[in-house]
Amino acid sequence: MKRHLISAADLTRDDAVHILDTAEEMARVGDRTVKKLPALRGRTVCNLFFEDSTRTRISFEAAEKRLSADVINFAAKGSSVSKGESLKDTAQTLAAMGVDAVVIRHSASGAPYRLATSGWIDAPVINAGDGTHQHPTQALLDAFTMRRRLIGPDAGLGQDLTGKHVTIVGDVLHSRVARSNVDLLHTLGAHVTLVAPPTLLPVGVETWPCEVSYDLDSALPKADAVMMLRVQRERMNAAFFPTEREYSRRYGLDGDRMAKMPDHAIVMHPGPMVRGMEITAEVADSERCTVTEQVANGVFTRMAVLYLLLGGKTDGGTANGGTTHERTPGE
Amino acid sequence: MSKTLIRGARVLGGEPQDVLIDGAVVAAVGTGLDAEGVDTVVEADGKVLLPGLVDLHTHLREPGREDSETVLTGTRAAAKGGYTQVFAMANTFPVADTAGVVEQVYRLGQEHGYCDVQPIGAVTVGLEGEKLAELGAMHESAAGVTVFSDDGKCVHDAVIMRRALEYVKAFGGVVAQHAQEPRLTEGAQMNEGVVSAELGLGGWPAVAEESIIARDVLLAEHVGSRVHICHLSTAGSVEIVRWAKSRGIDVTAEVTPHHLLLTDEMVRSYNPVYKVNPPLRTERDVMALREALADGTIDIVATDHAPHPHEDKDCEWAAAAMGMVGLETALSVVQETMVETGLLDWAGVADRMSAAPARIGRAKGHGRPVAVGEPANLTLVDTAYRGGVDPAGFASRSRNTPYEGRELPGRVTHTWLRGKATYSDGKLA
């Protein structure tokens, strides 16, 4: 594994399977009465959040605490950042206090990459979501959830997602979750289909290692997992789609559409859900919907990432520097 | 009156000749010229002698952003880069939209004496795109403005653009358009395409440039005016300008050195040194731009020298300023992309970087042939040199170059402004 986790595209198949297997071990610890491991005792992890986030920050914090790390939470609001301090100065201030790893969430695409590669700090950097670029731990927890549900907790060990069909639906254009999932799922051997109105797909998507469709109904019967992305209501003001109702009719997942999916197929959502928009309450509350499971799995997956970057053994990998942002071309 | 003899220079890349400068003019061109009575002899040893370069697109930042560049530091950078005249863009603070501001910039250039500074006037008051600035007053001022531009912003209102094109006809002016449809580029961070899709950076689509160019060449045709297109960056823009010229429309166009060399693949580093407006495009665009510069569809190379303080680039991409310095590397990049590729010879470079920009800007005494009786505005280039770009050695106050550490061919060794050496053997006057 590389020294930082910036993009899901930085992970090899073996890296990713190793993380998922490690997450499975963490999940087993989570079943115990005492959930805490001493792995990162004496290490300090800083959660550097320049963008509002509740669930991701809490998830990282839970993961860090279960590994016995000391945790510093830094939120941009009310901090020196709102007084005009630069990312560089903020990072160096924290580095001077001796943090062993930085988990960063930033509204600017590429901010974690800059932090990791500009020589501002030495600590490993974990991207907790940057702009519309990447959210690699989300993709890992999604892959973990799929592997557990579609293959099984034990049977899945050492396995990737070869042959599984995953349909990702919604605002791909503005979604870091979609980008990270396309990268990681491709690496793990899954077939990905993106479904969205053409306005919510980026120019250039045709080069991604996935299929693209404008029609949700035709993509459902072969799906093993359908991942619904949040669609912000404000998007319709910028003419990405005419109305909320029309979006919902064409691209929302309701009970009738869910019935077109194979019986074993699951419905996923990174949260927060906009009920009535991309997903109906009937679907969101159904047995097939893994939203809360994804949240639980997020903690195990992030524990695995922190453990492997900070304390664990990396199989045959020595630490190396920056990431390259080279993506495997689509077939 | 001092005399300088340049011995054995390849004038416009031709056979070695001697060139005698007497005072402010070229007094003799020939072989075996007598050195008697000459104050300075420069052994050119086969270096290439060009007319002093003219940059139609420079940001000198004074007044207002003297932390990034001043007229003094910018013209020193220009002299070092082989330029004898620069056209200073209007987006200063205050904006160069009145006779007072353009005269101030003009006079600063005169006082410092490194390079003639010809201010460009804003088209609209405050670059706001709503109300014409006093174009006539700027033209009649001591600065004698003939080029008008809201560069940095597009004159997006079609009626304002039409009026500006018409109005400047009265005194032979030209509007230089920064072609950027504003609505299509809201939140734009880089070229829209494969790379922006992966990096999650807001796209600046080629069509936002091309649609404005198409509109403006048609407007120029309709009202019988000339129009100049700043920093053309896409293959589609080239096609439109080519079509317009074939129709007889009076359009000229410029390309920057960086758009001749760099592509949006560089943005994968998220290093804001590559952040520029218009953005770096694709390999296909780069090749189309080179070809268009070679065949004359694009008339000139202009630097769009855009200095920024270090902190405005030492940050995350979205927070960074757009632009890169270019005066001190322009000729090297043109040598690499146009001369060494066989697309242009040195006479062609002299045209695209001196004669043609001077003609478009109606500059007097610049862009002239290297011939007896002409003003001695000259640049001597060691074309055999190769070396890494070291920003620490820049004369510019800013260091935001995309070429740091990159090996580029050629370096200017001497620049003469009306016979006076502004730069010689690595030293500014």
Q: Do B194 and A325 touch (CB under 8 A)?
A: no
| pLDDT for residue A124 is more than 80 | yes
pLDDT recorded at residue B85: 98
Q: Is B304 an active-site residue? A: yes
Best to test chain B binding among A114, A127, A237, A324 (most B CBs inside 10 Å): A114
> Residues 262..301 of A with a Cβ closer than 8 Å to B: which?
none
Tokens standing for residue B413: 């060794």
Contacts of B192 in chain A (CB under 8 A): 203-204
Tokens standing for residue B301: 């190379």
pLDDT tens, residue by residue, B124-138: 999 999 999 999 999
* Chain B closest-CA separation from residue A153 CA (Å): 32
Question: Range with the lowest mean pLDDT among A82-86, A190-194, B251-255, B379-383?
Answer: A82-86
| pLDDT for residue A229 is more than 50 | yes
Q: What is the largest CA-CA distance in chain A?
A: 56
Percent of chain A surpassing pLDDT 70: 92
pLDDT grade for A81, boundaries at 50, 70 and 90: low
pLDDT grade for A79, boundaries at 50, 70 and 90: low
Answer for the pair A278, A229: CB distance below 8 angstroms, yes or no. Answer: yes
Q: Tell whether omega for the bond before B94 is within 30 degrees of 0, i.e. cis.
A: yes
pLDDT tens, residue by residue, A252-262: 999 999 999 99
On whether any CB of chain B is under 8 Å from the CB of A109, the answer is yes
Answer for the pair A241, A247: CB distance below 8 angstroms, yes or no. Answer: yes
Q: Do A114 and B203 touch (CB under 8 A)?
A: no
**Helix, strand, or coil here: B13?**
coil
**Phi, then psi, of B93 in degrees rounded to 5:** -125, 105
d(CA B138, CA B119) in angstroms, rounded, equals 9
Q: Do A108 and B318 touch (CB under 8 A)?
A: yes
d(CA A138, CA A178) in angstroms, rounded, equals 10
Question: Range with the lowest mean pLDDT among A91-95, A148-152, A228-232, B286-290?
Answer: A91-95
On whether any CB of chain B is under 8 Å from the CB of A203, the answer is yes
Answer for the pair A196, A170: CB distance below 8 angstroms, yes or no. Answer: yes
Shortest CB distance from A203 goes to which of B197, B199, B319? B197
Contacts of A108 in chain B (CB under 8 A): 316-319
| pLDDT for residue A236 is more than 90 | no
* Chain B closest-CA separation from residue A129 CA (Å): 11
Domains of chain A and any CATH numbers: 8-135+294-311 (3.40.50.1370), 137-290 (3.40.50.1370)
pLDDT recorded at residue B12: 98
pLDDT recorded at residue A316: 36
Can you say whether the dihedral through the CA atoms of B292, B351, B247, B176 is positive or negative? positive
Domains of chain B and any CATH numbers: 3-48+374-428 (2.30.40.10), 53-360 (3.20.20.140)
pLDDT recorded at residue A1: 83
Answer for the pair A323, A114: CB distance below 8 angstroms, yes or no. Answer: no
Q: Do A109 and B317 touch (CB under 8 A)?
A: yes
Contacts of B205 in chain A (CB under 8 A): 203
Chain A residue with the nearest C-alpha to that of B205: A203
Q: Tell whether omega for the bond before A197 is within 30 degrees of 0, i.e. cis.
A: no
Shortest CB distance from A109 goes to which of B192, B201, B205? B201
Residues with Cβ within 8 Å of B17's Cβ and at least 6 positions away in sequence, in order, are: B8, B9, B10, B11, B29, B30, B31
**Phi, then psi, of A309 in degrees rounded to 5:** -75, -30
Q: Tell whether omega for the bond before B369 is within 30 degrees of 0, i.e. cis.
A: no
pLDDT recorded at residue A78: 59
d(CA A247, CA B84) in angstroms, rounded, equals 60
d(CA B198, CA A250) in angstroms, rounded, equals 26
pLDDT tens, residue by residue, B366-407: 999 999 999 999 999 999 999 999 999 999 999 999 999 999
pLDDT tens, residue by residue, A269-321: 999 999 999 999 999 999 999 999 999 999 999 999 999 999 754 333 333 33
pLDDT recorded at residue B64: 97
Shortest CB distance from A204 goes to which of B196, B269, B319? B196
d(CA B270, CA B162) in angstroms, rounded, equals 39
Position A163, amino acid: G
pLDDT recorded at residue A30: 80
The 3-state DSSP composition of chain B as helix, strand, coil percent (nearest 5) reads 35, 25, 40
d(CA A244, CA A231) in angstroms, rounded, equals 9
Tokens standing for residue B272: 């804001």
For chain B, what is the mean pLDDT?
97
pLDDT grade for A82, boundaries at 50, 70 and 90: low
Chain B residue with the nearest C-alpha to that of A172: B197
Residues with Cβ within 8 Å of B227's Cβ and at least 6 positions away in sequence, in order, are: B165, B174, B175, B177, B216, B217, B219, B220, B250, B251, B252
Residue A249's alpha-carbon distances to A227, A244, A253, A257, B242, in angstroms, are: 17, 9, 9, 10, 47
Q: Do A109 and B192 touch (CB under 8 A)?
A: no
Average pLDDT over residues A69-96: 81
Shortest CB distance from B193 goes to which of A88, A109, A203? A203
| pLDDT for residue A54 is more than 70 | yes
pLDDT tens, residue by residue, A91-112: 888 888 899 999 999 999 999 9
- Between A316 and A250, the more confident residue is A250
Average pLDDT over residues B70-86: 98
- Between B428 and A80, the more confident residue is B428
pLDDT recorded at residue A318: 37
| pLDDT for residue A75 is more than 70 | yes
Q: From the candidates B116, B216, B304, B351, which is the catalytic residue? A: B304
Q: Do A131 and B201 touch (CB under 8 A)?
A: yes
Percent of chain B surpassing pLDDT 70: 100
Q: Determine if residue A184 is left, alpha or beta; phi over 0 gives left, psi from -120 to 50 gives alpha, anything else beta.
A: alpha
Position A74, amino acid: F
Q: Determine if residue A307 is left, alpha or beta; phi over 0 gives left, psi from -120 to 50 gives alpha, anything else beta.
A: alpha
On whether any CB of chain B is under 8 Å from the CB of A318, the answer is no
pLDDT tens, residue by residue, B85-143: 999 999 999 999 999 999 999 999 999 999 999 999 999 999 999 999 999 999 999 99
**Helix, strand, or coil here: A200?**
helix
pLDDT recorded at residue A268: 98
Q: Do B319 and A117 touch (CB under 8 A)?
A: no
The residue whose two tokens read 């018409």 is B166
Best to test chain B binding among A109, A120, A133, A175 (most B CBs inside 10 Å): A109
Element (DSSP H or E) covering residue B194: helix B194-199
Contacts of B270 in chain A (CB under 8 A): 109-110, 113-114, 117
Average pLDDT over residues A82-95: 81
Question: Range with the lowest mean pLDDT among A123-132, A184-193, A306-315, B185-194?
Answer: A306-315
Give the number of other Cβ atoms within 10 Å of residue A158's Cβ.
Answer: 10
On whether any CB of chain B is under 8 Å from the CB of A320, the answer is no
pLDDT tens, residue by residue, B235-282: 999 999 999 999 999 999 999 999 999 999 999 999 999 999 999 999
| pLDDT for residue A325 is more than 80 | no
Tokens standing for residue B78: 């220009």
